[in-house]
Structure 1
Amino acid sequence: MSMSPIPTVLHRKNYHTLFPSDRYSWPAVARGCNTLIISQNADEPLGYLIPLLTHILLNSILLSQLSSSGPIAVLLCQGWEKAQVVYDLLEDSNVSRTLHPVIVLVGTGKDEVKAVKIPKNCLVLVTTPFTFVRLLSCHCFLFLRLHHLLLDEADQLFTLAPDQMATILQHFQKVSASEEKTSCPRQLVAAAKKWTSPMEDLISCHMPNPSIVITVPVEAALYGNIQQVILMTFESNKISVLLGALDFSPDVGQKTLIVANSVQEVEDVFKVKIVLSFHPTILLCTIFCI
């Protein structure tokens, strides 16, 4: 059995071309980094599932040997329909024989929650914020080795279930602080179409050293609270003018948004940033039509 979910899932779903957000976010997610992805295709689960499952598979043997039981990853979706879509993707891949994913959706009845039985070999749980909070109230001991938390359509999650999300993030932070997690750091991945204010707290309080990938220029500007600066220059002199406008020794840490009109231009600016060891955060976005 292939340990990678990539061949089967991509082939069956005709996922032949990577989106710009995939090219930048997949390496970070596959390495286990905390990652925030904001893109037009953020509602496509394969955009985050492939690298996440790859990372989980590489660590599943070690994680399954930990003293506690229960899922090592929880995938949160805004409603039962999207949860079913994500679960079907997991079942359609070859990871189901290793990770034994389970979908759980329950109502408000206490007896219904108490009756939930999660198999001991289940390593991935797909659910909604409302159901997960109910599970935590009755089966908290089943989520003591939670290493990966994925927020599908995170902007909608924080809008529709703000109190539940606060409870879930608090639990994730608590269990991740135990000594047992030092050899297997936690990972939080959030995918969204829009930047919203709750994501500021998500990044600052729950995502240490995050990789932030934003391929929607307007959302990138909102994230950075950018003040627009217009500079006129010839095509051949753009990089020099750009470097002259940047502050390389800011008194206060800065966020700088550079909007390019081609993938190659993004790569060129990124290479210049690396060569110069530019300290302020440069957020690179690609636009195909401007």
Structure 2
Amino acid sequence: MRGSLSVDREANAIRLRRSSFSGAFLLVEGRSDKIFYERFVDKVACEVVTVSGKPSSKLRVIAVLEILEKSSFQGILAIVDADFDRLETSAHNSANLLRTDTHDLETMLLKSFALDKVIAEFGSEEKITKFGRDVRTALLEAGASVGYLLWISKCDGLNLTFEGITFSKFIDEQTLQIDELGLIQEVKNKSQAFSLKNEDLQQRLISQKSNNHDPWQVCCGHNLVEILSLGLRKAIASTKAADVEPSSLERNLRLAYEEAYFRKTQLYLDIRAWERNNQPFKVLRHDT
């Protein structure tokens, strides 16, 4: 009940703003999303509103959007992480609801040349050559198992805990190869899910992976950044851990991400299409 009251309150706050602001409202999931999207938004024509909290910021964004849509509120647009939506049937679809091209905002950053710039800044040419693999591909291959296990947990209602898992317990710091049984054990330990059998989960993982889904839809960006952080300490560089903390790397990726990269995304095209269909409302700057 408290949650529904809160989203009603957030929707009402936007309605109240309409009396003094005639532009578009863009709903996003959190502070880092707001910082990112505000770089491309026309701040005179569009106000970015953060909606966050439990059960998830994404669900709250969608709930606020639906409340406003039911009252025929004009000029409202929401952008959320795609998560696994493109791999399954999503219950939430609206012309005013857009999703990231990849699993989340962080994977959009990693798929872009921003990753190459960060690696050039922190990486060692000698170690990268010795590593002998494309770093982006290595991140995806290691991160896919984590993403698939998260998806399995969601699909099967296992409620496994991934937040706070220690990646060095199942990722080889020299090769960035993943030990899937080590991953399963670490997640089980973090979740206190000792009744689940490692072999059953591994078999489920093998089965799910055999479908060859797009890794950019499977992998969670935060997990890939954790693996990148490990890699920059040993596999492809010798950087101090404090200099490549995941939160710091995500900030660097955001800073390295250029408007030119954003213009090449489907999300950019979708926002422009929304603007055409919802005139006179504008979201993006004309020079973006």
TM-score (normalised: structure 1): 0.21
Q: Give the number of the structure whose residues are more often strand, by fraction.
A: 1
Q: Give the number of the structure whose residues are more often helix, by fraction.
A: 2
TM-score (normalised: structure 2): 0.21
